[in-house]
Structure 1
Amino acid sequence: MYPDDAPIGDAYLTHEAVQAILERQKNLCAGCSVSLDAGSTHFDLWRPAICGGPRTLGNLAALCPSCHRNHMRRIREEFADHKNK
C-alpha cells in the first residue's frame, strides 16, 4: 500500500495529511491553481465516496472557496443525474 492509498478518517484531517496535500499541490488550488490561504482552504475528496471515490489521501484535494463551491455543485448534479437513471 502506498502512503497516498492509506485510508483517512471520516471527520478530521491530521496536520500531517494537510501538509502532505498542500506540498503535493505546491500550495495551489487543485481547481484553478490560485495560491491557497491557510484560513480559507477547503479539503475535500476529489471523487466523493458517495460517487465511488476512495477515502484516501491520494483522493483528497485542497481547493479555494470558489472551486470548492463549483466542485460541490458538480457533485450534487452528478449524484442527482445518477439517481434519476
Structure 2
Amino acid sequence: MTSWQGTPVAVNPDDTPIGDAYLTHEAVRAVLERQDNRCAGCSAVLDAGSTYFDLRLPVICGGPHTLGNLAALCPSCHRNHMRRIRKQFADHRNK
C-alpha cells in the first residue's frame, strides 16, 4: 500500500478491514480495549458520550481502512488531530 505521497505504508498483518461508514460494536470494543479505555493522544479516561474514533492516518492521505489504523480520542485530541490533518492536506494541495 502507498500513501498519498507515493511512499510505502506499513500495514500490520493482524489488521482487519473496518466498514466504510459505520463502526461495529466489536470494532469499538476492540479499539477501547487496546487503548485501555484511554485517549490515544493524551491518555485521559474516555467517556462513552464524547469519544471520537478517527483513523490515525486518514484514507485520503493513504492510510489503511483497518482496525490497526483506528484510534479513540477525547474531544480535545480529536480537534487537534483534525486540525493537523487539514493542515497536512492543505500543504499537500499547495505544492
Superposed displacement of residue 10, structure 1: 1.2
Moved over 6 A (4+): none
Question: Normalized against structure 2, the TM-score is what?
Answer: 0.85
CA displacement at 1:66 relative to structure 2: 0.5
- More helix per residue: 1
CA deviations on 1:12-58 (whole Å, 9 max, x unpaired) are 10101000000000000000000000000000101000111000000
Length, aligned pairs only: 83
Give unpaired runs (5+ residues) of structure 2: 1-12
Residue type of the partner of 1:10? D
- Give structure 1 stretches of 5+ with no counterpart: none
2:83 maps to 73
Using the alignment, how far apart are the partners of 1:72 and 1:41 within structure 2?
A: 14
Among all aligned residue pairs of Structure 1 and Structure 2, give the percentage whose two residues are the same amino acid.
80
Q: Counterpart in 1 of 2:39?
A: 29
| TM-score normalised to structure 1 length | 0.95
